[in-house]
Chains A and B, each alone.
Chain A
Amino acid sequence: MFGRKRKFDDFTSEIEAHIQLEIERLREQGLSEDDARATARRSFGNVMHVEERLYETGRWLWWDHFWHDIRYALRMLRKSPGFTAIAVLTMALGIGATTAIFSVVDATLLHPLPYPQPDQLVSVEDDLPGVGAQDVGMSEPEWQDLQRSGIFEYVSPTWFDENNLTGSSQPARVRLLIVAPNYFALLGVKPQLGRSFNPEDHSPGLTLEVLISDGLWKRAFGADPHILDRSIRLDTDLYRIVGVMPPGFDAPGRTTEERNIEAWMATSFYGPPMSDHPPRSGRNLPTAVARLKPGLTIAAAQSRLDALVAALQKEFPEDYPKQSAWSVRLLPLKERVVGNIRQSLILLLAAVGLVLLIGCVNVANLLLARASARGREMAVRQALGAARKRLISQLLTESVLLSLLGGMAGLAILFCTKGFLLRLLPDSLPRLNEISINLPVLLFALVASVVTGAIFGLIPALQADRLDLTHMLKQEGRGSTGSGEQARTRRVLVVIEFALSLMLMVAAGLLLRSFRDLVNVRLGFNPQNVMAVRTRLPYPNDPKTDAYATPAQEAPFFRELLRRSEALPKVEEAALGDTASIPLDESLRDLKLISEGKFLFTVEGSDMQSDEPAVVERSSVTPEYFHLLKIPLLRGRLFDESDNDKAPQVAVINEAFARTYWPDQNPIGKRFRKARADSAWITVVGLIANARTESLAEAGVPKIYLDLYQTGGKRLTIFLRGNLDAAAIPAEVREQVQSVDPTLPVSGAQTLNETVSASLSERRFSMERVALFALTALFLAGLGIYGVISYIVSERTHEIGIRIALGAERRSILRMVLRQGLGLALAGAAVGLVCALIVSHLMAGLLYGVKPTDPLTFGGVALLLIGVAVLACYIPARRAVRVDPLVALRHE
């Protein structure tokens, strides 16, 4: 063994040899055998002392102790397999679950984005706080200002869109990101095949080049290695494929759609098909990313940016009215990707951490029970001279070993169920493919194991330290002590356990109620038996080749599509709308933004001074839309045949809009217009009831509906109502759409019930997880109190036997035991309620419809917990009642 110290025997024989040599030398000098021996010993000094010093100088003393402790601990754990199994399993569940959640937190929140120097990457967001609008996008001149500001290495607007890919067997919808040519240089990502765009390209219009994703390459082109320089047709225009991005490259987007881009196009955002001189006030570039100059912090960049914004406001007062208070915000790019889910993930980590803590308390309790059983062993060892430090380190070794075994078991479970667990995660979770059990996660599990082991080991270890030797040793024959102090500690632990469980259950209860309230909310529209299928008209770069250039050109297509859709089997009603008309579809949020959705407008007759544009949700629909979704008309009329592209524009508004802009007035006949001086007035013709089409949580979001025949629309949704066969609909609709225009793709068929439920998926995930953790906690708490009461009963078997022998009623024995358990549960519940109040206020942002102090949740949870406590105590109480006085007394 390398570096291993000399064996103790080796010292002894060396010293023995020394003395023999000395004796021989002295005898040669003529001393007698006895005298020589005595002199040799005298000149050597204290043999024992030297031996001890030699032994102790070695570091191996520590090592010896350690090995000894481990061997002893293993022996002890083997001796009581039941205890070991329960303890290891508890810790395995606790550490395994905590590590699982941590691996998600690690991948999403802790890891930097997978691009070079990710700290320099920011999202640039324009706000108009004066009109309550956030992230409204920027204009081309503003982009140029940012490029020249010297703050950024690169700035690239990004424009999420979809396109029609034709030419292969089936027209397909492709998720497209339109970026500046510098976009890939900005991110620092290179394609796996070919090249990316030339970052110095400033030519007007679109570059007729396209980069495709690994997924699209494999799916649509069979991973053809000679794909480069082939042309593909996107929205009828030809683009040359110049590169294929590597597998696993995710665009830094907010939504799943935006993260799974399939094609990238580059443009300098001016020149045909866009405007040659885009206006400064036209915020048509929805989002932007940027890379800061090296060495610049976000805070420093932000302050320089604020100065730039102030200067621009002075230079162009017309474009930046004071009231709107235009500002530009820099956000770490990672925030844009994961910002939405931070709170939920932290809640989950806290919840699972609580479970682990409860598990710890449980094992500590088990250890304490064992410690009292082993009290005599400890006392004997102390009496024989064992140092207290050694006893504590022995007990700590045992507990850390237990939790390490638990941790290993937990990791093993995690490894085996990895695939299954990943499927449980909602698809909308960002950076899903980055989740892995890597070194930091393993380290986390290791640290968690050691720390928890130390926590639950320290309590019984410190208890053992305070043993009263005489008392312990006098307890002849009995295995246990019944020491008052230990019993007290165990009770305190149970109280803590109950308090922690109650906190977790209150959190779960509040989330559950929020969720139930959201599910049961009155939608204001009826999603039952409704399906939405999407298609899209192409948007060629040259308007002259556009077959659908104007609403008048689109109208025949709309009419024919409606006619054919209504004729489909089992379809009772059909309607058309744009993307924004799909209720509650979060995944299309960014698509809704670019050409529809948010609408800047001014209301007629409002004071010119405060003639500040307001923002409202809008969508374009055909007249049948309202009846199909069962949104009732309250006043005026819906759209009809007379509302065509030649007639003046009309609108249907909801109550919330009317109440906001024309309070206590009849809104019919009122007018508003797009916030541009040259746009035409739009007349309100109908008032409909509020419906939660924008957000489940908000009842009255102002919304306007325009007539699709008047506005036209490219991104179309076909709504169908009827007793539909959801599996057959996509093909049926595709057939109808393509028999009108064979180049159009059909995608995204979904029932509205699915859409509504999908909008809750993240909430559902965190609610279900927290509920699961709370149930585990409840189970552990029940187990804990069961253990303590069982212990108390077995301790008092003798006493109970005497009571019964003396004529105590069994019923009163039962009551006595139950009272003890109930006392603990009540104390735990009281402490837990106070802590839960704090926690519930911290998570107020995740709640809907319930107050953080909801008495029903608090009361119900407390009752449930006490019920479980009573149940857990009943089993040992029954045992107490069945005590046979004869057996109990003979026990003595």
Chain B
Amino acid sequence: MLQGTLDLLILRTLIFGSQHGQGIARAIQETSEKELLVEHGALYPALQRLEERGWISAKWGVSSNNRKARFYSLTTAGRKQLVKETNKWKRLTGAIARILGPEGAS
């Protein structure tokens, strides 16, 4: 995966509300229709990093099936970062698409 992609995916997933690590991993996997296979462990250093930067905050809570889990949610700064990163990503993929476009069409 591209550098920073995982961060973007995490932030994007959290836009629907707070979620624990396993939930985030599941969500990414399911919405990407299993195209993106994230090793679940790799998620945690990324979560740690985002938390340190103040883009997400974390709190221990209880999951839907009554298990203790650490829930992550977006902060205001995180929301702004998500918008910024999404735009950046769209520009990037747009640019790549334009380069690949004609050749892909022929």
Nearest B residue to A11 by beta-carbon distance?
A: B44
Query: How far in angstroms is the closest Cβ of chain B from A26?
Result: 11
Q: Which of A22, A24, A25, A45 contacts B42 (CB 8 A)?
A: A45
Query: How far in angstroms is the closest Cβ of chain B from A625?
Result: 89
Query: How far in angstroms is the closest Cβ of chain A from B61?
Result: 11
Given A18-B22, A54-B45, A57-B49, decide whether A44 and B40 contact each other with a Cβ distance below 8 A: yes
Q: Which residues of B contact A22 (CB under 8 A)?
A: 22, 40
Q: Which residues of B contact A15 (CB under 8 A)?
A: 41, 44
Given A21-B22, A25-B26, A57-B49, decide whether A45 and B41 contact each other with a Cβ distance below 8 A: yes
In the docked arrangement, what's the CA distance between A398 and B15, Å?
Answer: 50
Q: Is there a chain B Cβ closer than 8 Å to A47's Cβ?
A: yes
Q: Which residues of A contact B48 (CB under 8 A)?
A: 54, 57-58
Q: Which residues of B contact A587 (CB under 8 A)?
A: none
User: A1-24 vs B: 1/0 string, CB under 8 Å?
Assistant: 000000000110111011011101
Q: Is there a chain B Cβ closer than 8 Å to A660's Cβ?
A: no
Q: Is there a chain B Cβ closer than 8 Å to A50's Cβ?
A: yes
Interface residues on B, range: 20 to 34
Inter-subunit contact B63/A21 (CB<8 Å) = yes
In the docked arrangement, what's the CA distance between A232 and B55, Å?
Answer: 78
Segment among B3-11, B65-73, B77-85, B91-99 that sits at the interface with chain A: B65-73
In the docked arrangement, what's the CA distance between A247 and B75, Å?
Answer: 60
Inter-subunit contact B41/A44 (CB<8 Å) = yes
Q: Which residues of A contact B39 (CB under 8 A)?
A: 43-45
Q: Which residues of A contact B20 (CB under 8 A)?
A: 17-18, 21
In the docked arrangement, what's the CA distance between A58 and B23, Å?
Answer: 24
Nearest B residue to A47 by beta-carbon distance?
A: B41
Q: Which residues of A contact B69 (CB under 8 A)?
A: 14, 17-18, 21
In the docked arrangement, what's the CA distance between A18 and B42, Å?
Answer: 13
CB neighbors of B among A844-875 (8 A): none
Inter-subunit contact A54/B67 (CB<8 Å) = no
Inter-subunit contact A45/B67 (CB<8 Å) = no
Query: How far in angstroms is the closest Cβ of chain A from B65?
Result: 6
Interface residues on A, range: 20 to 34
Inter-subunit contact B44/A54 (CB<8 Å) = yes
Q: Is there a chain B Cβ closer than 8 Å to A53's Cβ?
A: yes
Q: Which residues of B contact A11 (CB under 8 A)?
A: 44
Q: Which residues of A contact B23 (CB under 8 A)?
A: 21
Q: Which residues of A contact B42 (CB under 8 A)?
A: 45, 50
Inter-subunit contact A45/B45 (CB<8 Å) = no
Helix, strand, loop or mixed for chain A's interface? helix
Nearest B residue to A14 by beta-carbon distance?
A: B70
User: B42-60 vs A: 1/0 string, CB under 8 Å?
Assistant: 1011001100100000000
In the docked arrangement, what's the CA distance between A111 and B83, Å?
Answer: 56
In the docked arrangement, what's the CA distance between A505 and B68, Å?
Answer: 74
Q: Which of A13, A18, A50, A57 has the most CB of B within 10 A?
A: A18
In the docked arrangement, what's the CA distance between A54 and B49, Å?
Answer: 9
Query: How far in angstroms is the closest Cβ of chain B from A846?
Result: 61
Query: How far in angstroms is the closest Cβ of chain B from A70?
Result: 25
Query: How far in angstroms is the closest Cβ of chain B from A813?
Result: 66
Inter-subunit contact B41/A50 (CB<8 Å) = yes
Inter-subunit contact B41/A20 (CB<8 Å) = no
Inter-subunit contact A14/B45 (CB<8 Å) = no
Inter-subunit contact A14/B49 (CB<8 Å) = no
Given A14-B21, A44-B39, A45-B39, decide whether A21 and B44 contact each other with a Cβ distance below 8 A: no
Q: Is there a chain B Cβ closer than 8 Å to A49's Cβ?
A: yes
Query: How far in angstroms is the closest Cβ of chain B from A756?
Result: 75
Q: Is there a chain B Cβ closer than 8 Å to A609's Cβ?
A: no
Inter-subunit contact A18/B26 (CB<8 Å) = no
CB neighbors of B among A505-531 (8 A): none
Q: Which residues of A contact B40 (CB under 8 A)?
A: 18, 22, 43-45
In the docked arrangement, what's the CA distance between A15 and B25, Å?
Answer: 13
Q: Which residues of A contact B63 (CB under 8 A)?
A: 21
Q: Which of B21, B45, B52 contacts A18 (CB 8 A)?
A: B21
Nearest B residue to A45 by beta-carbon distance?
A: B41
Q: Is there a chain B Cβ closer than 8 Å to A46's Cβ?
A: yes
In the docked arrangement, what's the CA distance between A20 and B40, Å?
Answer: 13
Q: Which residues of B contact A13 (CB under 8 A)?
A: 68
Query: How far in angstroms is the closest Cβ of chain B from A240?
Result: 71
Query: How far in angstroms is the closest Cβ of chain B from A8?
Result: 12
In the docked arrangement, what's the CA distance between A45 and B65, Å?
Answer: 24
Inter-subunit contact A17/B67 (CB<8 Å) = yes
Query: How far in angstroms is the closest Cβ of chain A from B56?
Result: 14
In the docked arrangement, what's the CA distance between A53 and B47, Å?
Answer: 12
In the docked arrangement, what's the CA distance between A58 and B45, Å?
Answer: 10
Q: Which residues of B contact A24 (CB under 8 A)?
A: 65, 67
Query: How far in angstroms is the closest Cβ of chain A from B28?
Result: 12
Inter-subunit contact A14/B44 (CB<8 Å) = yes
Nearest B residue to A53 by beta-carbon distance?
A: B45
Nearest A residue to B21 by beta-carbon distance?
A: A18
Q: Which of B44, B52, B67 contacts A50 (CB 8 A)?
A: B44
Nearest A residue to B42 by beta-carbon distance?
A: A45
In the docked arrangement, what's the CA distance between A54 and B51, Å?
Answer: 12
Q: Which residues of B contact A45 (CB under 8 A)?
A: 39-42
Given A45-B42, A50-B41, decide whether A17 and B49 contact each other with a Cβ distance below 8 A: no
Q: Which residues of B contact A49 (CB under 8 A)?
A: 41
In the docked arrangement, what's the CA distance between A15 and B52, Å?
Answer: 18
CB neighbors of B among A692-715 (8 A): none
Q: Which of A17, A43, A54, A57 contacts B68 (CB 8 A)?
A: A17
Query: How far in angstroms is the closest Cβ of chain B from A791?
Result: 51
Nearest A residue to B40 by beta-carbon distance?
A: A44
Q: Which residues of B contact A47 (CB under 8 A)?
A: 41
Q: Which residues of B contact A25 (CB under 8 A)?
A: 22, 26
Q: Which residues of B contact A58 (CB under 8 A)?
A: 48
Q: Which residues of A contact B67 (CB under 8 A)?
A: 17, 20-21, 24
Query: How far in angstroms is the closest Cβ of chain B from A31?
Result: 15
Q: Which residues of B contact A57 (CB under 8 A)?
A: 45, 48-49, 52
Q: List 5 A-B residue pairs with CB atoms under 8 Å apart, sorted by A's residue number.
A: A14-B21, A14-B69, A14-B70, A46-B41, A54-B48
Other A-B contacts than A44-B39, A45-B41, A57-B48, 14 sampled, CB-CB below 8 A, are A14-B44, A14-B70, A15-B44, A17-B21, A17-B69, A18-B21, A18-B40, A20-B67, A21-B69, A22-B40, A24-B65, A45-B40, A53-B44, A53-B45
Q: Which residues of B contact A (CB under 8 A)?
A: 20-23, 25-26, 39-42, 44-45, 48-49, 52, 63, 65, 67-70
Q: Which residues of A contact B (CB under 8 A)?
A: 10-11, 13-15, 17-18, 20-22, 24-25, 43-47, 49-50, 53-54, 57-58
User: Closest 6 interchain pairs by CB?
Assistant: A45-B41, A50-B41, A21-B22, A44-B40, A45-B39, A18-B22
